[in-house]
Structure 1
């Protein structure tokens, strides 16, 4: 088992699916009716595309623009069962039953055909969507007051469009506490639109996503939906022949009965790995896939080992969990594996490794900042000595490339191959101790146990003779050479940026979103190490993170993920349940604190890559 664990940690991909929806979109430039397009997508990929939110909306819009497509089918089609749902469709925003909260007035909704809802004197009423009235937006970037009253009167569709452009969306109301907040924001205004609406439209893959982006506010006549190059949706005759967009699910249910080890081997030979369920969002996808199994349980890439506890085959320890009660408790010396119920979706640990079940593979490997090292490698095709290359990398990027593991090794090999470079300097150099080679990124917080010791020497390397610097050859192997030799080199670019301007938390969030991507979300131990390293360069005692606390939600990250991995200073995690707070990291100790005010002005850390989507 020890050897298996070592192999998992060294050679399996990091947890790609840690936060994102495991799917990929494909524009198909063939002319088909909606039904024919649906059949094609189900045969070649997974299904016609489902669009969950504005981020995915912009991604699809960009793809059809790049493909030169004027209009294309998506997976939305008119059904027969109308239901009330929220304009903000982000599934990470809601917990169990949150979408079902209602606060209707007497005899409401009144079945008059009105399909939009407004808030009036604490209660909700249906109303004609065409009526102009004030409205309330939800702003996910403002933790102190997420609800915004707009007194300019608009119809429901125009109000939705305004909220999506200026804030996040029309307001969703998940519980009575939020309803009270909205009532306070509404003040003396007589009625305001909220994000509740009713329609009969359904997604081809059975998803319950309530996201809509109609050009004219709603689908009126025809039964199928197309997206135009402008990004707006129109209803259209299902018989029309046109291009279409499929999505490919990155989870594969294998309906063959295998032991846990056979399933692991199969996934690694035919796909990438047994699935690691490292977030609630991935759990939803796993649960959906598991429903198609004919066995009562489905193997996951989940195992328990002495001295390690429960961990995933991708190398992460279990943080997010969905155990059947009591199943996470096993004897510390016991080696166990985990599965998911094909019906209920809960995890179990009472099966033996020799039981034969269906299983779920993932077809993706390495991924985003949420689980991997937040950096990018750059081949510089300028001729410099090792010292000159080091100086260049430190001025233009972060440093000469440090390589932690075999996955990064392959990434660097691919990068220099694409650049048509035969050899290039990396950041390894002979140190002052005899026989000691070391990386010249000196921050010890950067490395975990044994990471600084990874080597990939070529045959009979290093051969010494006063050759104290290392280059990577075209075959990927490392060779020592004279540091004065002139050659190309590889830098790495850190994806975290410490901004040494003093700003409030809201100002820091706005700055990061305008100049980079977002305030950093620390969703794993590895990202924490990088954040700690960056924070050491701050001029303030604490540094803002993208961490906040809100009523009914608890602690969560601005990227949309709830806090699972954490590194709190003692006592700092506990705050009043309905108190709005934000979080920071100590610039020296690296622990998180919640005792600061949002108006305090600190340095802060931005990320230059998307983290949770």
Structure 2
């Protein structure tokens, strides 16, 4: 992990604890000192933390003053390559793509920022990329002629209106007919699926007359702390960005349940920038809060085994976590498990919360980190 001194840090609690002993997933949000484009920022976050901040982490960010003095920042939000009008959160499971939740209809968008992928001839007779849902006059190609229509429609309605006549469609502009454009209006150039600009009906024309600074390729989402709104920006823009981390450690080594438990408990690291001397210790994961299952299932996606060990163990006729807490719902697992299947796993794919396995089987496992305050006398060596 990057030294926190070089990054603005905020610790967050993602889920509420049911009791003092209950396990809590802890999230930390980092604002690195660097400015990067969106792809570079995501790679940095994945190498040094978990990923770009996204989804429910953003919900928490909107409720505090963490970013009051920070300029607009990249978030894990991007236009879907499969649907030009859809914005999605990144998917932390595979570390690629944007198959997370849809954010297109959120009220947190700044004004009308979501889509500017249709081409308009403006009053300067130059082409501009604007929102397809905005309304303007339009040009139709009708046979060998280009005709201007004054009634204002959005790009899609304009296209339909042109197509109502045979051999007519929203205008394709070439070097030969560009002189016929004497006023503002839609033309048939648009950008499909967040990719390249093309003409409607796959008409062919390499002619372009973009205004300076156009077209805009605003496919990545940023967050402005001042107005608490999201903005679409060109992914090549260099901005500050937010990464997030948690207190989970997926260990890609195959061990028995007992060896996995020992491995986690041997892991220690010093605390940094803490007011009191402390160390971080680890234990095999105890999941006592039901809301945490889906989050953890996403986090174990890169494990090299389909299931990972948790600290769940059948002891004394009961299912318990290694911290001594009982499994809250004992009916979730057999009260008389088959011989040797006395240890619990969590699956990357199976939606059942727990699976019982032979404790001697070898697989990956997941640990969690917690902070322990060091006795001041011990710390001073007295």
1:541 Cα deviation (Å)?
4.3
Cα separation, 1, equivalents of 2:256 and 2:316:
21
- Contact residue 49 and residue 243 of structure 2 kept, 8 A: yes
Q: Structure 2: which 5+ residue stretches go unaligned?
A: 1-12, 117-215, 268-280, 372-382
Q: Find 1:499's aligned residue among 227, 251, 255.
A: 251
- Contact residue 14 and residue 27 of structure 2 kept, 8 A: no
Q: Deviations over 1:162-204 (max 9, x none)?
A: xxxxxxxxxxxxxxxxxxxxxxxxxxxxxxxxxxxxxxxxxxx
Q: TM-score, normalised by structure 1?
A: 0.35
Q: TM-score, normalised by structure 2?
A: 0.54
Partner of 1:157: none
Q: Find 2:48's aligned residue among 396, 399, 403.
A: 396
Cα separation, 1, equivalents of 2:303 and 2:351:
12
Q: Give the match's secondary structure for 1:379.
A: strand
1:391 Cα deviation (Å)?
1.1
1:468 Cα deviation (Å)?
1.4
1:438 Cα deviation (Å)?
0.9
Q: Find 2:320's aligned residue among 553, 556, 574.
A: 556
Higher relative CO (CA 8 A, sep ≥ 6), structure 1 or 2? 2
Partner of 2:263: 511
Q: Give the match's secondary structure for 1:467.
A: coil
Q: Give the match's secondary structure for 2:33.
A: strand
1:605 Cα deviation (Å)?
0.6
Q: Find 1:574's aligned residue among 320, 323, 335.
A: 335
Partner of 1:368: 24
Q: Aligned in 2, Cα 1:456/1:427: closer, same or farther, shift over 3 Å?
A: same
Q: Deviations over 1:16-60 (max 9, x none)?
A: 341217xxxxxxxxxxxxxxxxxxxxxxxxxxxxxxxxxxxxxxx
Partner of 1:132: none
- Contact residue 400 and residue 491 of structure 1 kept, 8 A: yes
Given the alignment of the two structures, is residue 483 of structure 1 paired with residue 135 of structure 2, yes or no?
no
Partner of 1:474: 225
Q: Deviations over 1:384-435 (max 9, x none)?
A: 0111101111111121111327742336x53323xx3222110101112121
Q: Give the match's secondary structure for 1:585.
A: strand
1:437 Cα deviation (Å)?
0.6
- Contact residue 379 and residue 416 of structure 1 kept, 8 A: no
Partner of 1:522: 287
Q: Aligned in 2, Cα 1:404/1:15: closer, same or farther, shift over 3 Å?
A: closer
How many residue pairs align between the two structures?
242
Cα separation, 2, equivalents of 1:415 and 1:458:
20
After TM superposition, the structure 1 = structure 2 runs for residues 323-472 of structure 1, keeping only pairs within 5 Å, are: 368-369=24-25, 374-404=26-56, 407-410=59-62, 414-417=65-68, 420-432=69-81, 433-441=83-91, 443=93, 456-462=108-114, 464=116, 465-472=216-223
Cα separation, 2, equivalents of 1:526 and 1:447:
21
1:539 Cα deviation (Å)?
2.5
Q: Aligned in 2, Cα 1:510/1:438: closer, same or farther, shift over 3 Å?
A: same
Q: Find 1:606's aligned residue among 348, 367, 371.
A: 367
Cα separation, 1, equivalents of 2:322 and 2:300:
19
Partner of 2:357: 595
Q: Aligned in 2, Cα 1:565/1:496: closer, same or farther, shift over 3 Å?
A: farther
Given the alignment of the two structures, is residue 19 of structure 1 paired with residue 19 of structure 2, yes or no?
yes
- Contact residue 306 and residue 347 of structure 2 kept, 8 A: yes
Cα separation, 2, equivalents of 1:608 and 1:460:
42
Cα separation, 1, equivalents of 2:326 and 2:366:
19
Q: Give the match's secondary structure for 2:40.
A: helix
Cα separation, 1, equivalents of 2:101 and 2:220:
23
Cα separation, 2, equivalents of 1:567 and 1:466:
53
Cα separation, 2, equivalents of 1:585 and 1:520:
10
- Return the structure number with greater helix share: 1
After TM superposition, the structure 1 = structure 2 runs for residues 105-144 of structure 1, keeping only pairs within 5 Å, are: none
Provide the aligned C-alpha RMSD in A. 3.7
Cα separation, 2, equivalents of 1:514 and 1:562:
24
Q: Structure 1: which 5+ residue stretches go unaligned?
A: 1-12, 22-278, 280-366
- Contact residue 425 and residue 488 of structure 1 kept, 8 A: yes
- Contact residue 104 and residue 114 of structure 2 kept, 8 A: no
Q: Deviations over 1:419-472 (max 9, x none)?
A: x3222110101112121111122649x999878975622234336343111111
Q: Aligned in 2, Cα 1:548/1:512: closer, same or farther, shift over 3 Å?
A: same
Q: Give the match's secondary structure for 1:489.
A: coil
- Contact residue 532 and residue 587 of structure 1 kept, 8 A: yes
1:505 Cα deviation (Å)?
1.3
